[in-house]
């Protein structure tokens, strides 16, 4: 059978092909990534996208959970101070209720209680980055104020809306504690109980309601402590989620690496093969050029 | 009875035949690099013998033909394969350019996210989800707005790039029609020349030229050819529109139909818009038309759907909540009323960060319930029954698979085309070694014939001088 006399053309296109291969391998080695366009490996490209979407969502959560836990820690610290203040208020009131103190001592207790009450009100109006922490959803309005009357009524301007944040794994975490649930409003709760006690001691004489009022202050304090436990739990869950998400991200990154990363050893071998092939093809074409045809031998 | 004279005539005939054969070899050698040239072989034929007194005497040789070495079936196969391969190659090249618009893949796991449409959708929902933690924060609200506007901008730019691709393809279609028409005219002219010069037999170089034109034409458009009388060739498109009939060419024309370039046939009886039919016809034209009229619209529809569904759902979520000032939310995105044109038409409707409705209706500005609901859209099946992320991931793998499939198909078709080209070359290309061998053969035959005259002369002289060598020289 007659052979194709123009077979050199075929060799030239083979040279082009090996050069294209060299380019691909060099590109993969230099980027370290095996998937440089969707068509290189469509499944890997879309898998890579899904993984990085998850990683991005995780990173975003870790970032915002940092801010959120600072905010919750501020709230927790405020509640801790409230508990300390109220505890000292209870000892003061108990001291005042034992019937051994004179009018001026009672007045002094009333003054001290009044200071504690102001401190508690101020703690109940704690804010973080300009937002009131215990105002429910009305975080731009100062939640607590003392109204008129004796003892003054507690005016709560917030609401009872609870806010939740969602972790990337779909967990709902409570972010806030409404002020009314913590400190009460009107004539209930720790602030009202403090007001009642101040009123009790202000008269300068032992009052019949002191014991009841101490009991309601104690009960108010235990409400604060119970609510604080909710906040503490939320904080723990948030931090645990954040830690979990961070370790998950490390795993996702490892998975992503496995999907897209180039294999340098394999690439080096392939590149070296392509180079050898390219060189031999070029040498071969060059030697064909030097090869005589029958014409050059004719006399 | 055989005579010395008849021997002289036989050798004179041999000299003529060898000269003609040398001519064929010279022509082959001269055209060794001419594209489309088909090598010729000198065909010798012994003359009819003469029978005298019961003895049959041969009457020498003549060269009856310089036969072009072509295989019409192989040529037709080659043209067909060329049409298929060129269609795939044109589509593959065009789709690779489309893919480049969406080619954002991770370049390093520690580097920034490559910012594809899908990434920007995720970034938007991440920004909303950050707003959950501090719904009154102007910085976070601004973050949502800028993520929204980056997303809308990327939708706009992807749509613009796709439409630029479509425009580029329109220009290429015009360019291809401009290549096709001169070829049609050239073939028609060759038809005419061939029917005059060689109505019944192979027309050698004229036929080479016509075959070469056909091969060129096959790169551009899918055609069918029919051999007609007088060695003519009728060419139609694969869909049957007449392009060349004997000596007449019917030029293709282009025209604008709803913004795209369409191709029209002009021959009476088969005139009209052949755009849709030629999309599956073959040649580069088919590849370009398929990409322009089928593949790009499909890609366009995917990003339109993504833009429309995401924007519609986010807008609905906005309306369900209240903004920082307690007012009912207004749509975040401006979006056309239909899916078509959504990617090009999407824009951010609000500029005031306080207008983002993060709070649920009936709550204060510090509430985040609506932001949570909006961020949750990221995990809901809001785009054609899938989450936005899954939709984009499957869009990526569909597009990537399409491009990679086309590239594989192109390689396979190219290999098969190369095989056919090799077969054709093996049959029809000039081999210089072969021609040198022929030259040698014909030269020796010519030299022998010439030498024969010397010998015959000596014989004739001997006869005239009756054995005396010196009388007549």
Q: How many A-B residue pairs are in contact by the CB < 8 A criterion?
A: 212
Compute the distance between CA of residue B38 and CA of residue B246 in angstroms, rounded to an integer. 23
Report which of A261, A55, A31 is spatially closest to residue B119, judged by C-alpha positions.
Answer: A55
Residues in chain A with CB shorter than 8 Å from the CB of B372 are: 164-166
Strand B232-237 vs strand B242-245: parallel, antiparallel, or unpaired?
A: antiparallel
Residues in chain B with CB shorter than 8 Å from the CB of A257 are: 109
Compute the distance between CA of residue A119 and CA of residue A131 in angstroms, rounded to an integer. 19
For chain B positions 12-31, those within 8 Å of chain A (CB to CB) are none
Are the beta carbons of A213 and A93 closer than 8 angstroms? yes
pLDDT of A7 higher than 90: no
Mean per-residue pLDDT, B274-301: 95
Class of domain A49-255: mainly alpha
Are the beta carbons of A245 and A62 closer than 8 angstroms? yes
Residues of chain A with pLDDT > 70: what percent? 100
Residue of A nearest to B124 (CA): A57
At A208-228, the pLDDT tens digits run 888 899 999 999 999 999 999
- Which of A32, A131, A166 shows the shortest C-beta gap to B366? A131
Residue of A nearest to B387 (CA): A50
Q: Where are the domains of chain B?
A: 4-69+430-464, 74-89+166-295, 108-164+296-396
Q: With CB atoms and an 8 Å threshold, state whether A42 touches B400.
A: yes
Tell me, what's the pLDDT at A5?
A: 85
CA distance A204 to chain B (A): 43
Tell me, what's the pLDDT at B471?
A: 55
Tell me, what's the pLDDT at B464?
A: 84
At A159-193, the pLDDT tens digits run 999 999 999 888 899 999 999 999 988 888 999 99
DSSP calls for A248-282: HHHHHHHHHHHHHB--HHHHHHHHHHHHHHHHHHH
- Predicted TM-score (pTM) of this structure: 0.88
Residues of chain B with pLDDT > 70: what percent? 97
Q: With CB atoms and an 8 Å threshold, state whether B433 touches A175.
A: no
Residues in chain A with CB shorter than 8 Å from the CB of B25 are: none
Report which of B122, B136, B317, B309 is spatially closest to residue A168, judged by C-alpha positions.
Answer: B122
pLDDT of B473 higher than 60: no
Burial of B154 (0-12, 13-18, 19+ CB in 10 A): buried
CA distance B64 to chain A (A): 23
The reply to whether A292 touches chain B by the CB within 8 Å rule is: no
Residue B39: C-alpha distances to residues B106, B199, B209 (Å) = 55, 21, 13
Are the beta carbons of A233 and A172 closer than 8 angstroms? no
pLDDT-based confidence at residue B470 (cuts at 50, 70, 90): low
The reply to whether A234 touches chain B by the CB within 8 Å rule is: no
pLDDT of B1 higher than 60: no
Q: Which residues face A33 on adjacent strands?
A: A261
What's the whole-number average pLDDT of chain B? 92
Q: With CB atoms and an 8 Å threshold, state whether B109 touches A40.
A: no
Burial of A194 (0-12, 13-18, 19+ CB in 10 A): buried
Report which of B223, B221, B229, B193 is spatially closest to residue B209, judged by C-alpha positions.
Answer: B193
Q: Which residue has the higher pLDDT, A98 or A244?
A: A244
For chain B positions 137-196, those within 8 Å of chain A (CB to CB) are 137
At B233-245, the pLDDT tens digits run 999 999 999 999 9
- Which of B107, B359, B404 shows the shortest C-beta gap to A39? B404
Q: Where are the domains of chain A?
A: 49-255
Q: How far apart are the first and last CA of chain B?
A: 27
Burial track B438-460 (b if 16+ CB lie within 10 A, e otherwise): bbbebeebbeebeebeeeeeeee
DSSP calls for B359-380: EETTS-TT--HHHHHHHHGGGS
| Sequence-ordered alpha helix ranges (H) in B291-387 | 296-319, 342-345, 369-376
The reply to whether A289 touches chain B by the CB within 8 Å rule is: no
Cis peptide before A77 (omega within 30 of 0): no
Are the beta carbons of B117 and B303 closer than 8 angstroms? yes
For chain B positions 301-360, those within 8 Å of chain A (CB to CB) are 359-360
The reply to whether B439 touches chain A by the CB within 8 Å rule is: yes
Tell me, what's the pLDDT at B230?
A: 86
């Amino acid at each position: 059978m007659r052979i194709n006399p123009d077979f050199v053309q075929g060799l030239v296109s083979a040279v082009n092909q090996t050069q294209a291969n060299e380019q691909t391998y060099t590109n993969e080695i230099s980027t370290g990534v095996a998937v440089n366009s969707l068509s290189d490996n469509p499944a890997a490209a879309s898998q890579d996208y899904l993984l990085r979407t998850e990683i991005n969502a995780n990173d975003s959560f870790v970032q915002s959970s940092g801010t959120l836990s600072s905010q919750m820690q501020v709230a927790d610290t405020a509640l801790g101070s409230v508990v300390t203040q109220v505890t000292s208020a209870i000892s003061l009131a108990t001291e005042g209720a034992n019937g051994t103190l004179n009018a001026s001592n009672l007045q002094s207790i009333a003054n001290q209680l009044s200071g504690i009450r102001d401190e508690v009100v101020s703690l109940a109006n704690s804010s973080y980055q300009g937002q009131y922490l215990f105002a429910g959803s009305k975080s731009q309005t100062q939640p607590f104020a003392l109204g008129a009357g004796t003892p003054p009524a507690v005016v709560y301007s917030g609401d009872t809306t609870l806010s939740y944040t969602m972790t990337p794994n779909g967990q709902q975490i409570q972010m806030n504690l409404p002020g009314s649930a913590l400190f009460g409003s009107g004539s209930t709760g720790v602030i009202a109980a403090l007001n009642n006690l101040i009123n009790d001691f202000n008269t300068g004489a032992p009052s019949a309601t002191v014991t009841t009022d101490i009991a309601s202050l104690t009960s108010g304090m235990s409400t604060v402590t119970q609510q604080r436990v909710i906040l503490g739990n939320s904080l723990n869950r948030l931090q645990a989620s954040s830690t979990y998400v961070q370790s998950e991200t490390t795993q996702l990154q490892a998975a992503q690496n496995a999907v897209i990363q180039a294999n340098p050893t394999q690439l080096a071998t392939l590149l070296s093969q392509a180079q050898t092939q390219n060189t031999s093809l070029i040498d071969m074409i060059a030697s064909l050029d030097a090869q005589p045809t029958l014409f050059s031998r004719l006399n | 009875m055989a005579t010395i004279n008849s021997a002289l005539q036989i050798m004179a005939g041999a000299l003529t035949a060898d000269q003609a054969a040398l001519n064929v070899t010279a022509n082959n050698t001269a055209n060794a690099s001419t594209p489309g040239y088909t090598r010729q072989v000198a065909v010798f034929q012994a003359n009819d013998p003469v029978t005298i007194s019961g003895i049959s005497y041969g009457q020498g040789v003549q060269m009856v033909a310089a036969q072009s070495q072509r295989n019409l079936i192989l040529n037709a196969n080659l043209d067909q394969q060329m049409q298929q391969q060129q269609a795939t190659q044109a589509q593959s090249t065009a789709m690779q350019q489309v893919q480049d618009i969406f080619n954002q893949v991770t370049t390093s796991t520690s580097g920034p996210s490559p910012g594809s449409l899908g990434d920007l959708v995720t970034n938007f929902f991440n920004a909303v989800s950050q707003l959950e933690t501090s719904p009154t924060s102007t910085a976070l609200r601004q973050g949502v707005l800028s993520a929204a506007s980056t997303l809308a901008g990327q939708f706009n730019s992807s749509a613009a790039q796709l439409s630029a691709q479509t425009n580029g393809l329109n220009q290429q279609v015009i360019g291809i029609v401009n290549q096709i028409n001169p070829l049609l005219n050239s073939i028609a002219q060759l038809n005419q020349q061939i029917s005059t010069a060689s109505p019944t037999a192979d027309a050698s170089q004229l036929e080479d030229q016509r075959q070469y034109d056909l091969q060129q034409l096959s790169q551009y458009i899918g055609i069918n050819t029919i051999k007609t009388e007088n060695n003519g060739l009728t060419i139609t498109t694969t869909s049957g529109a007449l392009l060349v009939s004997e000596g007449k060419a019917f030029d293709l024309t282009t025209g604008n139909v709803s913004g795209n370039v369409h191709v029209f046939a002009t021959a009476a009886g088969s005139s009209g818009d052949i755009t849709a039919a030629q999309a599956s016809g073959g040649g580069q034209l088919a590849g370009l038309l398929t990409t322009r009229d089928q593949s790009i619209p499909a890609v366009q529809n995917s990003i339109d759907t993504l833009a429309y569904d995401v924007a519609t759902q986010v807008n609905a979520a906005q309306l369900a909540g209240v903004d920082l000032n307690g007012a009912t939310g207004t749509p975040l995105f401006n979006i056309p009323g239909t899916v078509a044109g959504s990617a090009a038409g999407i824009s951010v409707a609000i500029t005031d960060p306080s207008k983002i409705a993060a709070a649920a209706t009936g709550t204060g500005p510090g509430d985040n319930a609506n932001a949570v609901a909006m961020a949750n859209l990221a995990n809901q099946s809001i785009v054609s029954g899938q989450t936005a992320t899954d939709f984009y991931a499957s869009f990526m793998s569909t597009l990537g698979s399409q491009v990679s499939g086309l590239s594989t198909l192109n390689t396979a078709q190219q290999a098969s085309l190369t095989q056919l080209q090799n077969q054709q070359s093996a049959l029809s290309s000039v081999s210089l070694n072969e021609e040198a061998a022929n030259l040698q053969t014909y030269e020796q035959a010519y030299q022998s014939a010439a030498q024969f005259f010397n010998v015959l002369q000596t014989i004739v002289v001997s006869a005239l001088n009756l054995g005396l060598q010196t009388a007549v020289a």
